[in-house]
Chains A and B, each alone.
Chain A
């Protein structure tokens, strides 16, 4: 066994294990032999997985019947994930990262019992998944369903195994080797002042746009919906109650309070139905979208300055609880009900780019519409910092980082299936902007049937009866993805549980849980962004560094809330529809962050001297860079007004100059002026994002070239510390791992090593 293979890199003397203890790592040769030991049972298992996946892909991609069953999506996804996890992530581990279990992780050598705690790998997997998965993977696939089922499915599955999961795994591993440092700190260290500053600025602006667009999704789901407004606003008093309960009544009883909160939440959903039936309820809770947007802005500010224990922490518990429960439930429901899908594999909009949901052709817009679930840059902020401080052993990073992202990808596949199971006519009626449908049933029917889609014949009755079934006044132009997904989930759940009035409950249940994730992301995002801003201003005005200084905290929170609030209001009042013009910015922002994270990873790999395997981060980086830069350029330079912000801007400006009183979808001069302003802001943001990302990528390439010329670069890892604990690497321990674990379990408690102190 070569020295390189176990990743010791000359740290051998330092990593001498305690002779009184069992080994802290499986011997590299034994682990290798285990990997290469192909028993007939193992071979049969993997051949079976490969065959099942192969058949599923054939059913999806080649056999084109009238319909395709949803179960093939599940089989194709899960088989591909297993194969990628077993072979590709193992390849990355063996060739590029070379983890060494004899090295203590930050959770061990910095252990403080609070932030740095060695956590069981299975628990940490759940924990990490709950932190990375939110509303993103639920929304993007729904919007991309307009291009047919195949493009989205392919990108979600292939994207995650070659890009998204790779990014999460690499960032997590490098952060773990650096004491849990954040992406921003690593960028500064590896790329220097210019690259680091650009990365920080990009992160800050990207957070603003992401929070704004997530909030826009909630506003669109709740507008003119007294039921939704009531049940979602009830989450605030429920969370406050839970906070007080945990602080004063029974501290630490997290599961108990979450169960109580969950019961109250269900009550709030049911009560929402009662209230929407009453006259006063309708009068009180039917709010227009601008009012709801202001409500969320005010809420966002208050939530971000209130102490964490009162609102944020309890709502986070509630959101985690709902997340795990609902995703398991949805998976079970899809497997049991196996809906038939009649959407074409690739729709006409994939090539023409004239789809009413999100404008633009498949390349590059599919890849920015579905960000979360395939490649999400936001994950790099969670995979660096939070999770690396909790990993017990280095080799577990593969299971938690790569494996955790595979699970999020599976959530995206389920969201796609749920959206695809809806009638196509209804799908387009719900997702075309009010500017196109006029917001009326008649308008929607005329618009959708006028799209000329084969097999689509929408009737007014279908729209009104579905609206009645889900307990809404109307479902026309409920854009943003969340209501469509809620209809899909409601249909699937009703198929599982039956019951006539159940559909309205499940619809509002789905709206509720999406809103819960988003509101948690909104105030957590505002808070994180506020600290970043305080830290940045602190470079010039040191007093801002003091995070307990109220004035500074309030001021920076206000700046951040004003930033996303302005974009939110702009989206809500946009005469062109809001979500369809803004959502590409969300995806571009998220993918640019991914490009930044992958660029940092590439520079780190180069400095390690791993040039032979540099393509592992370079390949997804090149793809993310091409996609985001070309999408940004199209948004900036495209002459097609529906795609290019500046083309739209100039078209409306010229129309105003020509003295026209209405133009395109804008019926008044005021609306036209609004479009001019909105497209100016959107176009400017596009330019800012792409410029910052290009700066970061160029500095990363320069750092890589420099490292290549010098045959490597400075070591930025923490010094290795020998480990004194042991745990298996994956979900199921291998025979040698079981044996070693038994040796450790046989140690008396007295002999168990004291974990290093403070």
Chain B
């Protein structure tokens, strides 16, 4: 299945779906904004993890979504990220 890579722009998918009409372009633009926003907020971190897991041909099954987010915040406990002034 061709699926937009999680860390990547949905460019390819967009070009397949785009109908070329004004409505279609508006829909694409909205989808682009949503993709960007979710990316900045960090929402697609799990998708990026799954993609990495798949690509690395790891034999262990990937973490579930719930496990992943737990693991993520728990790791932040030990590795704090600074926020600027």
A residues with a Cβ closer than 8 A to B are 111-115, 117-120, 122-123, 126-127, 130-136, 210, 214, 246-247, 251-255, 258, 307-309, 312-313, 316-317, 319-321, 324, 372, 376, 378-379, 381-382, 385-386, 392, 517, 520-521, 524-525, 527-528, 531, 547-548, 590, 727, 745, 749, 752-758
Enumerate chain A residues within 8 angstroms of B52, measured Cβ to Cβ: 111-113, 117, 755
11 residue pairs from A and B, CB less than 8 Å apart = A112-B52, A113-B49, A117-B49, A123-B36, A130-B40, A254-B41, A308-B76, A324-B37, A382-B82, A520-B83, A521-B84
Whether A255 contacts B37 in the complex (CB less than 8 A), given A127-B42, A308-B73, A755-B52, comes out as yes
The interface centre, meaning the residue of B36, B53, B81 with most chain A CB atoms within 10 A of its CB, is B81
Enumerate chain B residues within 8 angstroms of A317, measured Cβ to Cβ: 41-42
Verify if B22 is at the interface (C-beta below 8 Å from A): no
* Cβ A376 vs Cβ B68 within 8 A: no
Bound form: Cα–Cα A524–B78 in Å? 12
> Total number of A-B contacts with CB less than 8 angstroms?
160
Q: Which of B54-85 contact A (CB under 8 A)?
A: 55-58, 65-66, 68-85
Q: Closest chain B residue to A408 by CB distance?
A: B84
Partner of B83, one of A114, A131, A321, A531: A131
* Cβ B84 vs Cβ A527 within 8 A: no
* Cβ A258 vs Cβ B72 within 8 A: no
Enumerate chain A residues within 8 angstroms of B75, measured Cβ to Cβ: 114-115
What 5 A-B pairs have minimum CB-CB distances, sorted nearest first?
A: A113-B52, A123-B39, A126-B40, A309-B73, A136-B85
Enumerate chain A residues within 8 angstroms of B37, measured Cβ to Cβ: 255, 324
* Cβ B7 vs Cβ A119 within 8 A: yes
* Cβ A251 vs Cβ B40 within 8 A: no
Q: Closest chain B residue to A522 by CB distance?
A: B83
Q: Closest chain A residue to B58 by CB distance?
A: A757
Verify if B29 is at the interface (C-beta below 8 Å from A): no
Partner of A757, one of B40, B57, B76: B57
* Cβ B84 vs Cβ A133 within 8 A: yes
B residues with a Cβ closer than 8 A to A are 2, 7-9, 11-12, 36-43, 45-46, 48-53, 55-58, 65-66, 68-85
Q: Closest chain A residue to B32 by CB distance?
A: A122
* Cβ B73 vs Cβ A313 within 8 A: yes
Partner of B43, one of A255, A372, A520: A255
Q: Closest chain A residue to B34 by CB distance?
A: A255
Partner of A379, one of B55, B66, B74, B84: B84
Enumerate chain B residues within 8 angstroms of A252, measured Cβ to Cβ: 43, 45-46, 65, 68-69
* Cβ B85 vs Cβ A521 within 8 A: yes
Whether A134 contacts B48 in the complex (CB less than 8 A), given A119-B7, A252-B68, A254-B41, comes out as no
Q: How far is the CB of B82 from chain A (nearest CB, A)?
A: 5
Enumerate chain A residues within 8 angstroms of B57, measured Cβ to Cβ: 754, 757
Q: How far is the CB of B51 from chain A (nearest CB, A)?
A: 8
Q: How far is the CB of A542 from chain B (nearest CB, A)?
A: 17
Enumerate chain A residues within 8 angstroms of B68, measured Cβ to Cβ: 251-252
Bound form: Cα–Cα A511–B38 in Å? 26
Bound form: Cα–Cα A223–B78 in Å? 35
Enumerate chain B residues within 8 angstroms of A754, measured Cβ to Cβ: 55-57
* Cβ B81 vs Cβ A131 within 8 A: yes
Whether A258 contacts B39 in the complex (CB less than 8 A), given A113-B48, A521-B84, comes out as no
Q: Closest chain B residue to A136 by CB distance?
A: B85
Bound form: Cα–Cα A753–B82 in Å? 33
Enumerate chain A residues within 8 angstroms of B77, measured Cβ to Cβ: 307-308
The interface centre, meaning the residue of A312, A385, A548 with most chain B CB atoms within 10 A of its CB, is A312
Whether A313 contacts B7 in the complex (CB less than 8 A), given A133-B84, A320-B40, A755-B56, comes out as no
Q: Closest chain B residue to A139 by CB distance?
A: B85
Enumerate chain B residues within 8 angstroms of A117, measured Cβ to Cβ: 7, 45, 48-49, 52
Enumerate chain B residues within 8 angstroms of A309, measured Cβ to Cβ: 70, 73-74, 76
* Cβ B80 vs Cβ A531 within 8 A: yes
Bound form: Cα–Cα A316–B43 in Å? 13
Bound form: Cα–Cα A254–B69 in Å? 11
Q: Closest chain A residue to B66 by CB distance?
A: A251
Whether A321 contacts B84 in the complex (CB less than 8 A), given A120-B7, A252-B69, comes out as no
Bound form: Cα–Cα A254–B40 in Å? 10
Partner of B84, one of A313, A382, A547, A752: A382
* Cβ A378 vs Cβ B73 within 8 A: no
Bound form: Cα–Cα A379–B84 in Å? 7
What 5 new A-B contacts, CB under 8 Å, besides A136-B85, A754-B55? A114-B72, A122-B36, A123-B40, A255-B43, A317-B42
* Cβ A118 vs Cβ B73 within 8 A: no
* Cβ B80 vs Cβ A307 within 8 A: no
Enumerate chain A residues within 8 angstroms of B43, measured Cβ to Cβ: 252-255
Partner of B85, one of A115, A123, A214: A214
* Cβ A528 vs Cβ B80 within 8 A: yes
